[in-house]
Structure 1
């Protein structure tokens, strides 16, 4: 499967601890959140482990409402330029901060973004062949070793960046949410297979 993800969290503070409260998911609030994405009634359709929920089927939304945090996963969030989502993100955030990570290892595309008060704080998207697609705002501390070339991939002549985009996107997952799909785990990580996220489809 590789690394594929399209996940955004809405939170007053930081979302890193949200999935550690998985037992506190509110089913009804999660359904209402999914309906905002689907634009109509949402039908519950079971649950997926988080490592699969971050890239659900087309037309499917994985949504979870925790105390103080809401998380949505659906493919349409994976835009070439995350800033194009700002209008929708602002509507869904309702004054909260938003953190998003997007990647697709088949096309070597990856990106992440953070919004605050309806505006982009940081948005980065890239592909290994094209390079930078969007680069807005100041770099975060977790990015800096990548730009310095500390995570270069020897022999990867197809990559025009000093690192592989998927590696940086997985680091953004670790930084924002506390898990990775690929890469080394550390003491701050939890196992995404142990967290189940509600799945919703459009009604009818």
Structure 2
């Protein structure tokens, strides 16, 4: 598994449904979203991407898209260990809306996701095999239940001739990460697509280059 994400979505309704009806992002709305998210950063337009390819932009870049009822922002600086510590201005921008954070990094098998409704944190989970459970706030969401129940144990295959210690978590974070991405955002990065998955490759995002912003990068 090699998926990496640093993704934030604001929505006035069901995110997958809104994405299915998303056309080209509005340039003015999108630029305003980026300026609002990084009020202290110098920002300029850059080459864009798609929702599928743009969920893990290069350092110093961000991809974003804004449509009526939906805002999408992708940036490595969103990959924070404790989602509950998302900068206050980013949470405040979700007043009256649903806010979803999804971040994972395949190099360290790290996953973090969180859901806010009208600025109130409902669920936050962050974990990796090296650090264990970093944050676990709120009631597990339905797509998590099989993992916590032991129905989706980590299937780690050792290298030939090597012994493999038991995986230090009851499930693989990246497997849960894909289910979280599908359930919360409507698409996946790796695995077999389902008929009603959002075609993330068909959704364009605008690109931005920026200086230092308000969100520190995750330390790997």
Give yes or no for contact 2:16–2:198 (8 Å, CA) kept in 1. no
Give yes or no for contact 2:106–2:174 (8 Å, CA) kept in 1. yes
Provide Cα deviations, 1:45-83, integer angstroms capped at 9, x if missing partner.
Answer: 121122221110112121110110111111111111100
Deviates more, 1:171-180 or 1:147-156: 147-156
Partner of 1:19: 19
Partner of 1:190: 198
Aligned-pair RMSD on alpha carbons? 1.9
CA distance in 1, matches of 2:42, 2:84: 27
CA distance in 2, matches of 1:150, 1:9: 29
Q: Does 1:172 align with 2:180?
A: yes
Name the one with the larger helix percent.
1
Provide Cα deviations, 1:21-42, integer angstroms capped at 9, x if missing partner.
Answer: 3314211100111112232453
Match of 1:23, SS state, is coil
Give the Å deviation of 1:158.
Answer: 5.4
Give the Å deviation of 1:155.
Answer: 4.2
CA distance in 1, matches of 2:146, 2:100: 21
Detail structure 1 runs of 4+ shifted over 4 Å in the superposition: none
Give yes or no for contact 1:167–1:183 (8 Å, CA) kept in 2. no
Give the Å deviation of 1:16.
Answer: 1.6
> With structure 1 as the length reference, what TM-score do the two structures score?
0.91
CA distance in 2, matches of 1:159, 1:110: 15
Distance 1:187 1:35, change over 3 A: same
Match of 1:170, SS state, is helix
Q: Does 1:30 align with 2:30?
A: yes
Partner of 1:201: 209
**Number of equivalent positions:** 203
Structure 2's unaligned 5+ residue stretches are: 158-164, 212-220
Structure exhibiting the larger radius of gyration computed from Cα positions: 2
Partner of 2:162: none
- Structural mapping, 1:33-182, within 5 Å: 33-39=33-39, 40=41, 42-85=43-86, 87-155=88-156, 157=165, 159-182=167-190
Deviates more, 1:147-156 or 1:109-118: 147-156
> With structure 2 as the length reference, what TM-score do the two structures score?
0.85
Structure 1's unaligned 5+ residue stretches are: none
